[in-house]
Amino acid sequence: MGLDLRQQGVSGRFAPSPSGALHLGNLRTALLSWLAARRFDGRWLLRVDDLDRPRVRPGSEASIVEDLRWLGLHWDGPVIRQSERRGLYASVLSWLRRSGRLYPCHCSRRLLADISAPHGGFTPYPGTCRMLEPFWGQRQGRWPSWRLRLSEGTVAWQERWGPPGTLDGPREIGDVVLRRADGVVAYHLATAVDELTLGISEVIRGADLWASTGAQVAIIEALGVPPPRYGHVPVLCDDDGRRLSKRTAAEGLVALREQGLDGPGVIGWLAASAGLVPAGSRLSAGELLADLRRRPRAWDEAFGADAKDAETNEDNEVREGTEDAEETEDAEGTEDTKASESFRIPPPAGSGEGGQSV
């Protein structure tokens, strides 16, 4: 079903976690994802990643929906909630386990932290439980997590801008946790299954999620389906160069609306931050979409592709979609991130202020 949907044309998605209000970086990713799909009359879905219930904040989903509607970023179909798709994830886990692709891991978080400590940052799982006799029951009152057994070789995927993404499976990704020891389906599995079953053809998201792509592509390949294409856009940073996140209480639409900005002002601000329009522009989401359809190369050139690359991307989009048809998150919930450049965002028109990094 998912592949059939993908073959019908471009399908994108925006997948925020309901752990707080959307910040400016989330909003810009939503806009870029929406544009990527709508430029070729494609589908654009809204998926709420709410599996990790302790992190869900009451009222966050309603706030997300209100912000997107206020900006004119309308989606197709109902809101999709991962918490309502647990049965699907369980079926995929069962199939992978029966096929011998999974093994139980009894390593504690403390043990894994001790392994990573000498190196700092992300350290792939060393395979401690990989060669042991599988024991799916409890040990010392603790259930095992379930890991995907990665094969030797490179995990690769297509990037919209720049060279293809490649990571060495065992050495740079490691055997991925698909089901946590507390029984919760892991972020990577749910994301991979959703991309497949919802027919997502292109994922537009922040560059801080580049490293997590390898784990998700490895899962998709284990299911015997080609992955979607990915487009990782630079993240927005504050004045100190720190990536915006909900943890740092980064400002969202509320602050901008209190400053007197309306929808066209915010859309122009976000689009200018991505190099799509001049600073101080005022236009609706629909007007921005129409403008980019008239200037197709501007889309790829804004993210570093030269004119030749931009032309190639446009040709590929026409071939991959139908004649008239061609998805930062927040980085929370992933285990590793990749540093990326920031954009300078212009101030609201008439504010008299200089550009600021946000």
CA distance 93 to 178: 8
- Cα–Cα distances (Å) from 327 to 134, 154, 340, in that order, read 38, 24, 18
For position 244, what pLDDT does the model report?
62
CA distance 136 to 122: 26
Looking at the structure of the chain, the number of domains it has is 1
Question: pTM of the entire structure?
Answer: 0.82
For position 28, what pLDDT does the model report?
94
Could you give the angle at which helices 263-273 and 24-38 cross, rounded to 10 degrees?
A: 90
CA distance 73 to 131: 49
Return the CATH number at 302: 3.40.50.620
Domain that holds residue 323: 2-357
Q: Which residue has the tokens 């904040």?
A: 57
Q: What is the per-residue DSSP string for 261-283? A: --HHHHHHHHHHHTTSS-TT---
Q: Which residue has the tokens 């297509």?
A: 158
Average pLDDT per block of 10 residues along the chain, 358 residues long: 81 96 92 96 97 93 96 98 97 97 91 53 86 94 96 95 93 96 96 97 94 96 95 80 58 80 93 93 97 91 57 44 32 32 35 31
> Which residues are CB-neighbours of 198 under 8 A, at least 6 positions away?
2, 5, 11, 13, 45, 47, 80
